[in-house]
A and B are shown apart, each in its own frame.
Chain A
Amino acid sequence: MKQRLERATGQHPGDSPIIKTSVRLLVPFVQLFGLYVIVHGHYSPGGGFQGGVALGASFILLALAYDLKTSIRHFSEGANAVLANTGALIYTGVAALCAVMGGLFLDYSALDKLIPLGPIEWRSFGIFLVEVGVGLAVMSIMVSLFWDISSGGEMDEGL
């Protein structure tokens, strides 16, 4: 796709110093905002899904402005798979741990026996743990979906 466009127009599509520089400046702030949305989900609109999408979008932005290889260099394929699995495992693990500690499945107040914070405080903290898991999983899956679909599974050249 990219090569065909290049041959037709005679220039590298999207290869503009303005776009590259602005994306390079933008990406850290997008990631910081994504983390903020995940962590601040208790007090403002947001949470794991929205923050995870913002984090994933920062890597997709890198892939769009530079190329797929730059995106993969910043967020390796292995780390991506590990983080996606970790995210899903954090959620189900916290839920199962509640059951193991003598409460119901997903009843975070049972974790009070592990670290005594108070059952109500644990319900708040349990939501936070779960949101972190959701954020990790959503971020990794968004990025890996983009990588796979934009390159047709080859993982060498994207859009």
Chain B
Amino acid sequence: MKALALIATVITGILLLYGTRDFPAWGDPQSPANRHLSPYYIENAVAETHVPNVVTAVLGDYRGYDTMFETVVIFCAGMAVASVLRRNKS
């Protein structure tokens, strides 16, 4: 069973590594993300949100859903640990 799992893991790893060959080169200015989305944020973030820090503007405004559920994930983690471990002494 362990050998089977190892084989499956190795094959999946090889497939994933093979898939990365199609990725654009690291930091490539001509990659789709860098041609379309990044210039928009850099050019319009200050005008649209009045936040000089583009990272904060993207995190809090353009990608607000992502940050919201990050907070919810942390909240759920804390509640889960408290409900499993904490004992009521009263």
A130 to B84, CA, bound (A): 29
The proximity string for B residues 69-84 relative to A, scoring 1 for CB distances below 8 Å and 0 otherwise, is 0111011011101101
A124 to B56, CA, bound (A): 10
Contact (Cβ within 8 A) A95 B68: yes
Interface of B: prevailing SS: helix
A126 to B45, CA, bound (A): 14
Contact (Cβ within 8 A) B72 A41: no
The proximity string for B residues 47-63 relative to A, scoring 1 for CB distances below 8 Å and 0 otherwise, is 11111110111011100
Say whether A121 faces chain B, with CB atoms less than 8 Å apart. yes
Number of interface residues of A (CB under 8 A): 41
Interface of A: prevailing SS: helix
Given A41-B53, A42-B56, A95-B68, do A127 and B61 touch, yes or no (CB 8 Å)?
Answer: yes
Q: A106's contact among B49, B51, B65, B79, by CB below 8 Å, is which?
A: B65
Contact (Cβ within 8 A) A45 B50: no
A144 to B75, CA, bound (A): 11
Given A137-B71, A145-B78, do A131 and B52 touch, yes or no (CB 8 Å)?
Answer: no
Say whether A22 faces chain B, with CB atoms less than 8 Å apart. no
Q: Give chain B residues whose Cβ lies under 8 Å from the Cβ of A156.
A: 89
Q: Shortest distance in angstroms between B61's beta carbon and chain A's nearest beta carbon? A: 6
Q: Give chain A residues whose Cβ lies under 8 Å from the Cβ of B47.
A: 120
Q: Which residue of A lies closest to B87 (CB)?
A: A153
Contact (Cβ within 8 A) B71 A88: yes
Say whether B34 faces chain A, with CB atoms less than 8 Å apart. no
Say whether B64 faces chain A, with CB atoms less than 8 Å apart. yes
Given A95-B68, A130-B67, A153-B85, do A45 and B53 touch, yes or no (CB 8 Å)?
Answer: yes
Interface positions of B (Cβ within 8 A of A): 47-53, 55-57, 59-61, 64-65, 67-68, 70-72, 74-75, 77-79, 81-82, 84-87, 89
Known: A81-B82, A92-B72. 14 other contacts (CB 8 A): A43-B52, A44-B53, A45-B53, A45-B55, A47-B56, A84-B75, A88-B75, A106-B68, A123-B50, A127-B60, A137-B74, A141-B75, A148-B81, A153-B84
